C-alpha cells in the first residue's frame, strides 16, 4: 500500500510527533510506502536529527518527506491512501487529482476518551464532489482506533528500566552531570517536565521542595524558562537538568528514566502512558474550557487513585499554584504513591493488550480499498 500523510504543525511538536510515529509504523511495521507532507520542517527537525528545514523534498528512514508549501509540486499524484492529520485538508490541486483517482481518504482525528468517539469512529462523510472521507479516532477502547505502539516497546522499556547503569549512561549522553545523577542511586526521585507556559510551576516546585525525597527535574531546553530560578529560590528545591530536544526513541528513554512524568499535548501523553509510570497530563487548552471535558473523560478511564486525579486537575488550572502544591504533596504520600505506581502499570498492561493504531488503520484502509 502507498500512502500520503498530511501534517500541519499547530502544537509545535505534538502534531508532527504523531504523524512521524505513524509514518514510521506504517512503513517499518506494515510495509507501506509512505510520503509525509509537513508544513513546518523546522519543528520536525527538532525531534528528528537529519531533517533539513530548507529542502523541498528529502528522505529519512525510508520515508519520503515533502515540504508542504503554498505551491506544492503538481506532479505528486495521490497514492492509494491519503491521510490528513487533524482535519488539515490537502492542497486544492491535490484534491483535484483525488477526484480523478478516488483514493481511500482518512481524517485522523485527535485522541479522545469521550464516549461519543466510539460511535463516530470509522464513519464516512460523503462530499458533493464524490469523494468520501472516513473518520479514524484514536482511543482507549476496542471500539476506537487505539494508540500508536511499536511491537517490541514493552520489552525494550522493561529492560531499560531494570538497568540503572544504562539509564545513567543515557542521561550522561544528554549532558546530565554525574553530580546530578548520583543522588538517583540513593533514592532521589526523577521527574520529567514537558508543559505549556500556563502550567502552575510554582506549585510543582513548592511541593517538591517540601518533600523529604530529593528530586531531579529533567526539562527540555526552552520549556518552563523560569524553572531554575524558581527551584533556586526555595530551600530544598529540586535540581534541574536541561535536556536537548531528542529523537523520538530517545524521548521514550527520558520518560523511562523518570519516576513521574509531566507531559503535554497528545504525543508525549501517549508515550508517557507506555512508560508504565505515573503521569500528569496537561491537555492542550481550548476555548470555553472544552479541553477540561476531555480531561475528565480520560480521568474516568484512568485507574489512578483520587489523589492523582486531583493533581492532574490542578495542573490544568492556570495560576492555581497552591492547589497544585497541595495535590502533589498528597499524591506523593507513600500509600498514595504506591497505589499510583501500580495503577500506571495496570493501565499500560490493559492498553498494550489491544492492537495498536497503525495495525488498526492498515486493516481499515485495506478493507476500504477492496470496495473502491
CATH number of the domain encompassing residue 48: 3.40.50
Q: Clarify whether residues 66 and 100 are in a common domain.
A: yes
Which residue range is the domain that position 193 belongs to?
A: 153-352
Return the pLDDT at 238.
Answer: 98
pLDDT of 117 strictly over 80: yes
- Per-residue confidence band for 285, with pLDDT thresholds at 50, 70 and 90: confident
At 58, the pLDDT band (50, 70, 90 cuts) reads very high
Q: Same domain, yes or no, for 246 and 294?
A: yes
The answer to whether 48 and 60 have CB atoms below 8 angstroms apart is yes
pLDDT at 10 over 90: no
Task: Write down the pLDDT at residue 12.
Answer: 65
CB 41 within 8 A of CB 10: no
In a domain, 189, yes or no: yes
The pLDDT, as a whole number, for residue 289 is 79
Query: Are residues 29 and 90 both part of a single domain?
Result: yes
- pLDDT of 196 reads 93
Q: Does residue 251 sit in the same domain as residue 161?
A: yes
Check whether residue 141 and residue 218 sit in a common domain.
no
Widest distance between CA atoms in the chain: 67
User: Do 138 and 167 fall within a single domain?
Assistant: no
Which residue of the set 15, 80, 202, 267 is catalytic?
Answer: 15
> Both 245 and 362 in a single domain?
no
281: pLDDT strictly greater than 80: yes
Under the banding of pLDDT at 50, 70 and 90, the label for residue 372 is: confident
49 and 87, same domain (yes or no): yes
Residues 262 and 233 in one domain: yes
Q: Reply yes or no on whether the pLDDT at 100 is more than 80.
A: yes
Number of domains in the chain: 2
Of the listed ranges 6-15, 138-147, 197-206, 260-269, the least confidently predicted one is 6-15
CATH number of the domain encompassing residue 311: 3.40.50.2000
User: Is 371 a domain residue?
Assistant: no
Residue 125 located in a structural domain: yes
Whether residue 15 lies in the annotated active site: yes
Alpha-helical segments (H) within the chain: 14-24, 41-47, 92-101, 116-120, 153-161, 164-173, 178-181, 201-210, 227-232, 248-257, 267-274, 290-299, 306-315, 321-332, 334-352, 357-370
In a domain, 68, yes or no: yes
pLDDT at residue 11 greater than cutoff 80: no
Whether residue 81 lies inside any domain: the answer is: yes
Tell me what the mean pLDDT of segment 303-321 comes to: 94
Spot the catalytic one: 80, 109, 202, 266. 266
Residues 165 and 27 grouped into a single domain: no
Strand pairing report for 215-220 and 239-243:
parallel
Alpha-carbon dihedral 216, 337, 276, 107, rounded to 10 degrees: -100
Residue 348: predicted pLDDT? 97
133 neighbors 106 (Cβ within 8 angstroms): yes
Q: If pLDDT is split at 50, 70 and 90, which confidence band does 71 have? A: confident
> In this structure, are residues 311 and 280 in contact, taking their beta carbons and an 8 Å threshold?
yes
C-alpha cell at 198: 500556563
Question: Is residue 262 included in any domain, yes or no?
Answer: yes
Output the average pLDDT for the chain: 95
Instruction: Let me know if residue 157 belongs to a domain.
Output: yes
How does 158-179 read in b/e, with b if 16+ C-beta sit within 10 Å?
eebbeeeeebbebbeebebeee
Mean pLDDT in residue range 61-82: 93
| 51 domain residue, yes or no | yes
User: Same structural domain for residues 133 and 250?
Assistant: no
Residue predicted with more confidence, 68 or 12: 68
Looking at the fold, whether 212 and 345 belong to one and the same domain comes out as yes
- The yes-or-no verdict on residue 320 having pLDDT over 90 is no
Are the CB atoms for 267 and 17 separated by under 8 Å?
A: yes
Average pLDDT rounded to a whole number, residues 100-126 = 96
Give the torsion sign (CA, 351, 353, 356, 361). negative
Amino acid at each position: 500500500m502507498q500512502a500520503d500523510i498530511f501534517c500541519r504543525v499547530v502544537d509545535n511538536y505534538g502534531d508532527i510527533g504523531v504523524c512521524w510515529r505513524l509514518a514510521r509504523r506504517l512503513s517499518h511495521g506494515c510495509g507501506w510506502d509512505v510520503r509525509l507532507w509537513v508544513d513546518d520542517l523546522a519543528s520536525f527537525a527538532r525531534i528528528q536529527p537529519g531533517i533539513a528545514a530548507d529542502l523541498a523534498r528529502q528522505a529519512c528512514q525510508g520515508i519520503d518527506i515533502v515540504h508542504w508549501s503554498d505551491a506544492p509540486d503538481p506532479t505528486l499524484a495521490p497514492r492509494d491512501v491519503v491521510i490528513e492529520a487533524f482535519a488539515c485538508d490537502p492542497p486544492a490541486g491535490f484534491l483535484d487529482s483525488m477526484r480523478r483517482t478516488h483514493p481511500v481518504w482518512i481524517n485522523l482525528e485527535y485522541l479522545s476518551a469521550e464516549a461519543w468517539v466510539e460511535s463516530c469512529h470509522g464513519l464516512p462523510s460523503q462530499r458533493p464532489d464524490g469523494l468520501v472521507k472516513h473518520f479514524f479516532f484514536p482511543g482507549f477502547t476496542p471500539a476506537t482506533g487505539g494508540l500508536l505502539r511499536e511491537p517490541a516497546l514493552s520489552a525494550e522499556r522493561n529492560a531499560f528500566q531494570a538497568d540503572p547503569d544504562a539509564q545513567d549512561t543515557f542521561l550522561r549522553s544528554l549532558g546530565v552531570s554525574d553530580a546530578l545523577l548520583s543522588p538517583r542511586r540513593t533514592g532521589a526521585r526523577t521527574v520529567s517536565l514537558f508543559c505549556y507556559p500556563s502550567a502552575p510551576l510554582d506549585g510543582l516546585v513548592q511541593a517538591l521542595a517540601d518533600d523529604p525525597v530529593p528530586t531531579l527535574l529533567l526539562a527540555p531546553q526552552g520549556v518552563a524558562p523560569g524553572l531554575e530560578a524558581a527551584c533556586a529560590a526555595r530551600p530544598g528545591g529540586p535540581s534541574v537538568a536541561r535536556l536537548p530536544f531528542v529523537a523520538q526513541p530517545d524521548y521514550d528513554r527520558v520518560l523511562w528514566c523518570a519516576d513521574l512524568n509531566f507531559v503535554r499535548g497528545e504525543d508525549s501523553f501517549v508515550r508517557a502512558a507506555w512508560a508504565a509510570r505515573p503521569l500528569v497530563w496537561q491537555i492542550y487548552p481550548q476555548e470555553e474550557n472544552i479541553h477540561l471535558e476531555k480531561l475528565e473523560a480520560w480521568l474516568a478511564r484512568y485507574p489512578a487513585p483520587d489523589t492523582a486525579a486531583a493533581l492532574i486537575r490542578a495542573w490544568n488550572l492556570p495560576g492555581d499554584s497552591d492547589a497544585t502544591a497541595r495535590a502533589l504533596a498528597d499524591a506523593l504520600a507513600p500509600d498514595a504513591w504506591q497505589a499510583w505506581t501500580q495503577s500506571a502499570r495496570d493501565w499500560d498492561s490493559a492498553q498494550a493488550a489491544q492492537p495498536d493504531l497503525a495495525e488498526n488503520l492498515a486493516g481499515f484502509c485495506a478493507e476500504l480499498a477492496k470496495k473502491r
